[in-house]
Amino acid sequence: MPGARYGMDAPYGFGFVGLVVLGFWVTGLVMAVTADLAAALPALVSGTLLAGCLALSLHATLRGKFLVWRDVLDELDLRGDERLLDLGCGRGAVLLAAARHLPQGRAVGVDLWRGLHQSGNTPAATLRNARAEGVADRVYVQGGDLRKLPYAEASFDLVVSSLTVHTIFGADARAQAIAEAYRVLRPGGRLLIADLARTPREYAAVLARLNAQDVRVRGLGWRAWWGSPWVPTRLLTARKPATRSSGA
């Protein structure tokens, strides 16, 4: 949308890989000139493969994730008056896309606002994007640790997260974040977490222990490949029982 700027995920990682690609190519070209092409091939091929991985990641962060979440949110068939929480909202790519589905609802984003995970990551940037997208009247952002959310139990109809929980160090700490997300869901509420590689299955095991219903993990396709087909993004979906059970 005109005026909205969402930055880049893991900007330092992109910079590092870009330097590695350049290093391989320069080494290969120097070897091709000073030695022979056969000696240069390993460096040139390695640089080209890494460049392909970098291109996949750039597509995912600049376009792919927006298309994927557009489809995911459309599938939810929301009423429009729900209260939604985005864990690790960053500059609002998912938060604001969700807010467009909630003309009578509320979209709340919580984050630690670390530039390491997203370029230009600040609450002010998110609110500027909300104004640019025309949804500022229904968007609220707050600083907070996902392992100890600053919200009461059963506060939200829907909790979402995109590529955030895996950044928490340690399986026990990630499990705590998933349990917190489940805690703040209202009975009957839904949880959707997109994350890398095997971590969604890790979260599914936590939710199974909490007696969550309809726990599923599925791939999100090539648009969400981060670096290669071997680092896919998967979507975990689950539902809190409409009536309270002993495990929840």
Note the pLDDT tens digit of each residue in 182-232: 999 999 999 999 998 889 999 999 999 999 999 999 998 888 776 656 678
CA atoms within 13 A on the CB side of 29: 8
Q: Tell me, what's the pLDDT at 48?
A: 74
Tell me the C-alpha distance between 191 and 183, whole Å: 11
Contacts of 105 (CB under 8 A, 6+ apart): 78, 80, 81, 82, 83, 84, 99, 138
Q: Tell me, what's the pLDDT at 20?
A: 57
pLDDT-flagged residues of the chain (< 50) = 1, 12, 245-248
R_g (Cα) of the chain, nearest Å: 20
Q: Tell me, what's the pLDDT at 246?
A: 42
C-beta atoms surrounding 112 within 10 Å: 14
- Token pair for residue 90? 């960053």
Q: Tell me, what's the pLDDT at 223?
A: 80
β-bridge partners, 88:
none
Residues constituting the chain: 248
Q: Tell me, what's the pLDDT at 195?
A: 93
Q: Tell me, what's the pLDDT at 237?
A: 97
What H or E segment, with its residue span, contains residue 58? helix 37-59
Nearest to residue 5, comparing CAs of 189, 149, 129?
Answer: 129
Q: Tell me, what's the pLDDT at 2?
A: 52
Contacts of 12 (CB under 8 A, 6+ apart): 116
- What single-letter amino acid sits at 52? G
Q: Tell me, what's the pLDDT at 4?
A: 84
Q: Tell me, what's the pLDDT at 57?
A: 72
Helix (H, G, I), strand (E, B) or coil at 142: strand
pTM for the predicted model, two decimal places: 0.82
Tell me the C-alpha distance between 75 and 117, whole Å: 28
